[in-house]
Structure 1
Amino acid sequence: MGVGESTRTIQCPSMHEISPCTCRVITKGKDSGLDIVCDHADQKHVRNALDVLKKNPYTIYWMKFRNCNLPRLPDYVFLGLDVRHLNIIRSNVSVIERSSLSALGSTLSTLDLSNNKIREVPSLALASLKGLTFLNLNYNQIQVLNEGAFTGLTVLERLSLYENKIQHIDDNAFKGIGRKLLRLNLGKNLLDDIPTDTFHPLTNLEVLDLHENRISHIPDGAFQGLHKLDMLKLEHNLITTIQENVFSDLTVLNSLNIEHNHIVNISARAFAGLESNLEWLELGHNRLDHIPSHALRPLHNLRQLDLDSNKISVVQEDAFRGYGDTIKYILLDKNHIKSIPPLAFMDLHSLEWLKLSHNEMTHLTEDAVQPILDTLTMIDVSNNPLECSCDLLWLRKWLSNPNNQDNMVSQDDHICVTKERKSHVISNLPFKEFNCPISLPTENRSPNRASVLTCPHVLVALGLLSTFVKENTW
């Protein structure tokens, strides 16, 4: 509580008067008001508490009804109250009468009606809320968004309709909502497609969430006019193909999530329009059998590429050529990759994380990873059938380096298997077990590079040979 004069004069009604509701005084800057919480109350007790509160002309910053039994919000139920934030959640609300919220039209800023039994958007009741900036209708039973469903909400910034039963959205559903809407969540509904004209009026939208629907196709022009969209979430749908130019209007898009779909084909111009700003691309848990380099090459500022849990078996030598200079994180775990060619990582000058766990690699040579070793802070090649050979000596050194211990994210040890089919933790395996062939110089001959080292991946200085003989360890 503050110490100003307004704080001393504001008082809560007695607990007895508003039971089972509770009250406390809170401060907002220089002003003070009430925080009212009603848990497990029925309609009679709620009405009684509201009648008591109407006798005191105090601002109510928060009014929360939780787990109550309020099947109907009657007309003018809040008449005489000044409420800024109203939450009526898990309270069996199914009917919201036309004038039930009208008394709050000039003061209410946020309205949370989640976890109720609302079957349609209460458009008439909402129309009077001219100052509403956030509307939460999550976890209800809404099936259709009709034309003008949110008319009147001219300053609304956030609208969430997550986990309803929405199957249809009228092309003019968001007409009249105003141009201040920044975030729209339609996740976990029953949408089969993206209505082509629906989102066009939302010219200032920054986040659009369509995940966990039944969308199988992205139509041309679906995102027309969304020139300020920063994040698009399409994960957990049924999309099979990303055709050309479907995102071409999203010129400032920074994050695109299309994981957990059924994607098998990505057009060469699928990401046209995203060249300058896309940094985060999630394509994991799809059905891609190769890295779609042809589509990725125009993305000059890509920072993360997530391709985990696909069907990729081959990494081409030019897989990251032309667009890898900015990439910091590559996720290729849970594929079917058998080997990495020497030049595959040549262009990845900024790479910090590389995940290759749960693949089918038996070898990973130093030649393949040499271009990224200077920048790499995390590498995970656990759960591969790696053979304990000279090709892995570089990995033993990397994993044993104390400077890399803080960056380990894998919960599993890195294991390799000897010719005797025995498994060993790579970081603990003695040098000799990697079977790097080394021949010592004879007494009467001067050693040359070829006779000292026949393993092309290990550089052993002549001065260390005596130490090796004594200790037989790296």
Structure 2
Amino acid sequence: MSPTHQLYQKFFICSFSFGGTKIRYWPTALNHLVRLKALDMSHNVVTFMREGAVSAFADTLQELRLVNASLSPFQAELSKLKALTLLDLSYNSIVDIPPGALTNMSFTLKKLTMSHAHLSYLPEALYELNVLEELDLSFNPMQSTNADIIGTSDNSLLRNSAATLRFVNLSSCGLNAIPRAVVNLDQLEVLDLSRNRIVVLNNHQFSSLPHLRTLLLNDNPLMSIPCPLVLNKMMEKSINSLLFGVTAVQTKLWRIDGGEKAHFLFHTLYSCILQLDLSSNQITRIPDVAFPGAPKLSAVDLSNNSLVYIFDYAFTDAHSVRTLRLSRCSLTRLPSSLSQADGLRTVFVDGNPIPCDCDLSWILTWQRQSGIIPNIVGRCADHPTMTISTYVSTRLQHDCGSVVG
């Protein structure tokens, strides 16, 4: 019995995978799978889909994976699928999705993945989707952004999915601005804009994302931190009048890595932040009261910055911070302002040339007043085999007790 006939005898199959079989054509055997709900044709060399390729299961197929299938361009047959909830076209040469191509799945498609698909801009066909929950367009060459990114229209390509969309990944797309498509997404929780070319952020771009939990901006050439994080007492009144709309943004993870020139100027408007990642920028100082009014902020990462100066009251009001990372920041001394973060449990200062001497004597006062000090992760620059925590617990009192009195 031929493989085709065997497949015909099993027309009741609901899920089938041809993934990695290196076939070069759309199998005619699929014509008999009238109840098919999930199909994986990934990692093949199917450059096109013949007419009628999906006719047998156009009304039943819910999940279709065509990852690295050598498709080019977007295939017209895909437009005939009426029950699709998941479509993965990653690692193909799609370039664009024609208008009208997603109409038949406008009220069914919940997850669309087109990573590494050679898209040159955000497809206008996204407007046709009404119940989309996850969108991944990462690693596409969108350097030449379309009107949805830099235009003046208030309409967003994703506005019809604003009530359902929770995850958007536009990382590594060469974007030099935040796409207008992500504005006014009421339910968006995760936004990944990492590894792009975004230089400037405006506060209003996030003010319309009331449920945002995770914002990834690592590895962008950011010149400064956006206005909601600016601490400038001379301008505070005018800034607050401009930023009244962003106070509701409940961001839990704020990650800004890899900026060329990021100045650490922090003003709290995000009262629900849990984790703040500002690593690998060129931040040179931490100002007084750097983390005011952030009652849920538990982890701060400032590693891989060239910190020239940490102000005396930098950690005033940082009572909720439990973990602080200051690794590889060119620090030559442990800042005494750490004692203001009375909830601190672990401080990472590894990779800094901090000597273990009586400059650490302030820790004895801290310990005497609070009864507990955090674990200090790092090694003594003058005694590389000894950790700072070991020195503090075994030798600091003996060497420097008289300094404190």
Please indicate the TM-score interval, normalised by the length of the shorter structure: 0.7 to 0.9
Structure 1 stretches lacking a partner, 5+ long:
1-16, 18-47, 439-453, 461-474
Matched-pair contact (CA < 8 Å) for 1:68–1:92: no
Residues 180-237 of structure 1: per-residue CA shift (max 9 Å, x gap): 1100100001012364242223222111110011101226x44334211111110000
Q: 2:8 aligns with which of 38, 54, 68?
A: 54
Comparing 48-57 and 79-88, the one that deviates more: 48-57
Richer in helix (by share)? 2
- Residues 227-376 of structure 1: matches in 2 within 5 Å? 227-269=186-228, 272-273=245-246, 275-294=248-267, 297-321=268-292, 323-365=293-335, 367-373=336-342, 375-376=343-344
Specify whether residues 345 and 79 from structure 1 end up closer, same or farther in structure 2 by C-alpha distance, changes over 3 A only.
Answer: same
1:386 matched to 2:354? The reply is yes
Inter-partner Cα distance in structure 1 for 2:247 and 2:116: 29
> What SS does the aligned partner of 1:201 have?
helix
Corresponding letter in the other structure for 1:388: C
Map of 1:164 onto structure 2:
117
1:209 matched to 2:169? The reply is yes
Structure 2 stretches lacking a partner, 5+ long:
149-155, 230-242
Matched-pair contact (CA < 8 Å) for 1:194–1:215: no
Map of 2:381 onto structure 1:
417
Q: 2:96 aligns with which of 127, 130, 144?
A: 144
Inter-partner Cα distance in structure 1 for 2:373 and 2:80: 59
Richer in strand (by share)? 1
Inter-partner Cα distance in structure 1 for 2:116 and 2:384: 50
Specify whether residues 215 and 274 from structure 1 end up closer, same or farther in structure 2 by C-alpha distance, changes over 3 A only.
Answer: farther
Inter-partner Cα distance in structure 2 for 1:133 and 1:222: 21
Specify whether residues 50 and 394 from structure 1 end up closer, same or farther in structure 2 by C-alpha distance, changes over 3 A only.
Answer: farther
> What SS does the aligned partner of 1:309 have?
coil
Matched-pair contact (CA < 8 Å) for 1:333–1:356: yes
Inter-partner Cα distance in structure 2 for 1:149 and 1:331: 44
- How many residues align structurally? 374
Map of 1:24 onto structure 2:
none
CA RMSD across the alignment: 2.8
Map of 1:184 onto structure 2:
135
- Runs of 4+ more than 6 Å apart: 394-398
Matched-pair contact (CA < 8 Å) for 1:306–1:330: yes
> What SS does the aligned partner of 2:314 have?
coil
What's the CA shift for 1:255? 1.2
Corresponding letter in the other structure for 2:132: L
Q: 2:21 aligns with which of 46, 68, 93?
A: 68
Specify whether residues 354 and 285 from structure 1 end up closer, same or farther in structure 2 by C-alpha distance, changes over 3 A only.
Answer: same
Matched-pair contact (CA < 8 Å) for 1:235–1:257: yes
State the structure with bigger RCO (CA 8 A, min sep 6), 1 or 2. 2
> What SS does the aligned partner of 2:127 have?
coil
- TM-score, structure 1 as length reference: 0.72
Map of 2:240 onto structure 1:
none
Map of 1:100 onto structure 2:
53
What's the CA shift for 1:330? 0.1
Specify whether residues 104 and 364 from structure 1 end up closer, same or farther in structure 2 by C-alpha distance, changes over 3 A only.
Answer: same
What's the CA shift for 1:337? 1.2
Specify whether residues 200 and 54 from structure 1 end up closer, same or farther in structure 2 by C-alpha distance, changes over 3 A only.
Answer: same
> What SS does the aligned partner of 1:208 have?
strand
Matched-pair contact (CA < 8 Å) for 1:215–1:237: yes
1:88 matched to 2:57? The reply is no
